[in-house]
Structures are given as C-alpha cells and as structure tokens.
Amino acid sequence: MSTENEPAAADNTRRAPSEDPHFIAGIIGAAGDHDAPLLRRMIAPLGTPDLADVIEHVPLETALTIARLIGSELPVELLADLSWERREEILTELPDDYVSRVLGELDTDDAAAVAADIDEEQLGRVLAAADDDTRLAVEEALSFEEETAGRLMQREYVAAPEGDKVGDVIDRMRVDSAELPDEFFEIYIVDAAMRPIGAVRVSSLLRTKRETPLTEIMRSPLILIRPEMDQEEVAQTFQKYHMVSAPVVDEAGRLTGMVTVDDIVDVISEENEEDLLRLAGVSEAAQTDSVFRSVKARAPWLLVNLLTAVVASTVISAFEGSINRLVALAVLMPIVASMGGNAGTQALAVAVRAIASRDLTEGNAPRYVLREALTAISNGFIFALVLAVVVAVWFQDVLLASAMALAIVINFACAGLAGILVPLTLRRYGADPAVSSSVFVTFVTDVVGFLAFLGLATLILFA
C-alpha cells in the first residue's frame, strides 16, 4: 500500500493536495489501516495550510484517526488554520500536552480561538499543564464575549517610550527577538502611563536614520480599539481608515494588545458569508455538516415560508369564482407575484448590504426608502406597459391587460417598500436584518400581487 500512495504525497506541485483524489484516497486508506508511519510520510511534505485543507476534506472518522495516531506530532499552527467546526470535532482526540503546547506557542489571538473550541473539562486539564503566562492570556481572552475585539486581539506587541530614538528600538528588537510577535507592522509609541500616543510603521523605521527621535516619524492621532467592540465594527474601522493594525486599550487608555489585518480579513469573510446565508434563511453551511444538522438549521425558516404560502393561497381561494369564470387569471397571476418577488429581492439585497456596511443609518434611511420606492415604481410602469401589450395581444382583452398593468405597478411599489422596510424593522427591534428577510418580503409580494391582480380583475371584468 505504501508503494502506491507515497508518490501521491510528492506530486502536489500543480494542485492542492486536497484536490487530488488519489492523495485523499491514500490518506483515508492509511488511516483506515491505522498505518501511522505511512501517514507521517504522506503529510511530511505538506505545509500547514495544505495539511489543514486535507483534514477538512477527509471524512470525520479519518480526521479523528489521524488525531489519535499522530496528533502529538502535528504542527502547532494546524489548529489555528482549521475551521472551528473541524477543530472542535478533533480536539477531544488530541493529547492534552500537545494542545497545551499549541496554546503556549501560538500568538494569543490564535490561542484564544483554539481555546474557545475546547470543552470545559479538557480546557481545565490543558491550562493546568500550561505555563502561567499562557494560562493568564487564554483566561483573559475568554473573559470577553465572542466576536469582539477582545477575542481578536493579540497580546504580543512592540511598544517604545516616546523619548526613544530609531536606533534604540532597532537594537532592543534585535536583542529581544524571541519576544517579538510573529507578525507585526507597527511600533506603538507610549507615554509613561503606557497610553499609546502614536505609531511608527516598520517600513518607516528601517528607512530612517538611527539618531532620529520616534516622535518625529510617528503618525498621530491613533484609532484606538476597545476590547468590547464588536468585531464587525472593528472590521469597518479597518476598511474606513485603511489600517494594517490597531492598538487595543483598556478603560484607562493603557495599551493591552493589537488587532492585525490578517484577523480582519477572516472577520470580513465570515461576516459576509454569515449575511449571505442568513439572507436565504440558512444559519450555517459547513462542508462537515451532517444531514441532520443541515435540516435542523434550515427547516424552521422553511416552516415560516410554508405558513406565509398558506396565507397567500387563502387570498387566491377568495377569488375562486373569478378564476373559474376566466381561466386566464390563473395563467397570469404567477407572473405578477414573480415579478414583484424579484423586485423585492433586489431592494432587499441593496438594503442588507447597506446595513452591513453601515451605509444605511437612521439618519439617511428616509432617502434610501424614497429611492427604492421610486425605483420600484419606475420599473413597475415599464413592465406594466410591456405586460399590458403582451396580455392584450395574447388574450385579445384590453380590460384584462389594464388589470394586469395596474397590479404590476401596485406590486412593484409594495415590493420596493418591503425590500427596504423589512430589514430596517428587524434591525430596529434588535433582530439581525439578514435573517430571512426574504421570507417576509416574498410573503408581501405574493399576497399583494394576488390580491391586486385578482381583485382588480374582478372589479374591472365582472363588476
């Protein structure tokens, strides 16, 4: 077996190992045979990101077997590169001493992310085996709410007193290189009370003469981050001010850590994915999810959708007599509802994006509402004219075409208003505006579309 699979481990120059079915099959086979030496040889050439990708793509039982067989030999950065779902699944199979070593060697922001996924009993054992600095850093990080700057921040940073010169900082960093963060972009200048008063980019430091005072090249004022700030707000701040790092300060304004752009990239990706999924009424969609977990996440909003569909159907049943007298009504009414639904979805997508990016606020909400309403009405008139001509030619009935045109305009207007007002209303009452707003918007456009078309047709044709 080793003869067949070992070449696959080396042949990964043209594509990622996780995309090579032969390599993945070899990993699964080696794990199934509990062949630890072969597993070691196969994963040895892989960098940590590629190894994490492989563990994400293999079945759960294979990932658990790898953790049991060679868990203590895996690179410490692996757990930080795994998704939280897969990390949570394999942590219980990893040796406590390995997990303790991971928490001690990772930067504190990554260590906090890993620690958050460890169950309480295992975390107690892991922290008991860790050194005091690691234990205190992890406990402090976990004291903050999830998705806040306190969880994101890295407690390793580089600071220098305001009286230092460029040469002083460079010399000190060389002497204390082992204490430096793995990644940092700025040196924070602090006063006697450890309050940051400015920052110097590493690139500026290296281009400046040694005898230059730091205060001459530092940028000030700084954008300061509080640990309780929501991570989405932190990401917005980074985007707005084009930042690569930001100092985190406590209530007294003292420097306690920093947030770096690599974590912000992850936050932006997570928040965008979360908003996209919630807009469709799906709370999570990990590749490792079971069928049961997927059903549990999606079924509640499908039930809400079913209830709204039943209400829309009762509107149709109220006009059963009119539909029986003119079958064309049954042919045309889905067009009215479908066109209105699409118009509402367009307005909804614009609104949710504007809310997520903080472009839509209470102050400018009326302008957004007016714009979306006028846009929808304008489109309504355009497509009302088009459909009126189509219906008049198709069914040779001008009155039916008139009812169709009026219903389209009415439904488009309501769709535009619903698309902007539904997410605004959800946000006003403390709900996430991305959570299945589409269900309620579709409900409005269906009910209004059927009611407007069938009601107007009944009045115009049969009154």
Cα distances (angstroms) measured from residue 353 to each of 275, 417, 419: 9, 16, 12
The tens digit of pLDDT for each residue in 177-226 reads 878 888 899 999 999 999 999 999 999 999 999 999 999 999 988 899 99
Residue 375 has what pLDDT?
A: 93
The least confident of 275-289, 341-355, 365-379 is: 275-289
Q: Computed from CA positions of residues 385, 390, 395, 396, in that sequence, does the dihedral angle turn out positive or negative?
A: positive
- Judged against a pLDDT cut of 90, whether residue 383 lies above it is answered with yes
**H or E stretch at 90:** helix 84-90
| Cβ–Cβ < 8 Å for 151, 231 | yes
- Judged against a pLDDT cut of 50, whether residue 1 lies above it is answered with no
Averaged pLDDT of the chain = 87
Q: Give the CA angle between residues 386, 459, 443 to the nearest 5°.
A: 65
Helices (H), 398-436: 398-428
| Cβ–Cβ < 8 Å for 348, 441 | yes
Residue owning tokens 């072969």: 38
Residue 6 has what pLDDT?
A: 47
Residue 436 has what pLDDT?
A: 62
Quote the percentage of the chain above a pLDDT of 70: 90
Quote the percentage of the chain above a pLDDT of 90: 57
The tens digit of pLDDT for each residue in 75-99 reads 999 999 998 889 999 999 999 999 9
The Cα–Cα gap between 160 and 255 comes to: 11
Q: What is the helix, strand, coil percentage profile of the chain, to 5? A: 70, 5, 25
- E-assigned strands of 15-80? none
Token duo for residue 451: 């009611």
The tens digit of pLDDT for each residue in 220-250 reads 888 999 999 999 899 989 988 989 999 999 9
With a CB cutoff of 8 Å and minimum separation 6, the contacts of 104 are 111, 130, 131, 134
- Residue 82 half-sphere exposure toward CB, CA atoms < 13 A: 26
The Cα–Cα gap between 65 and 94 comes to: 10
Cα distances (angstroms) measured from residue 404 to each of 120, 311, 401, 443: 62, 22, 5, 20
Nearest partner of 407 among 319, 322, 335, judged by Cα: 335
Nearest partner of 408 among 386, 384, 389, 388, judged by Cα: 384
Residue 282 has what pLDDT?
A: 56
Residue 8 has what pLDDT?
A: 45
Confidence of residue 284 (pLDDT cuts 50, 70, 90): low
The least confident of 268-282, 303-317, 375-389 is: 268-282
Residue 19 has what pLDDT?
A: 83
- Judged against a pLDDT cut of 50, whether residue 266 lies above it is answered with yes
First-to-last C-alpha distance (Å) of the chain: 82
- Judged against a pLDDT cut of 60, whether residue 7 lies above it is answered with no
Residue 9 has what pLDDT?
A: 45
The least confident of 128-132, 286-290, 381-385 is: 286-290
Residue 10 has what pLDDT?
A: 44
With a CB cutoff of 8 Å and minimum separation 6, the contacts of 183 are 107, 260, 262
How many other β-carbons are positioned within 10 Å of the β-carbon of residue 287? 9
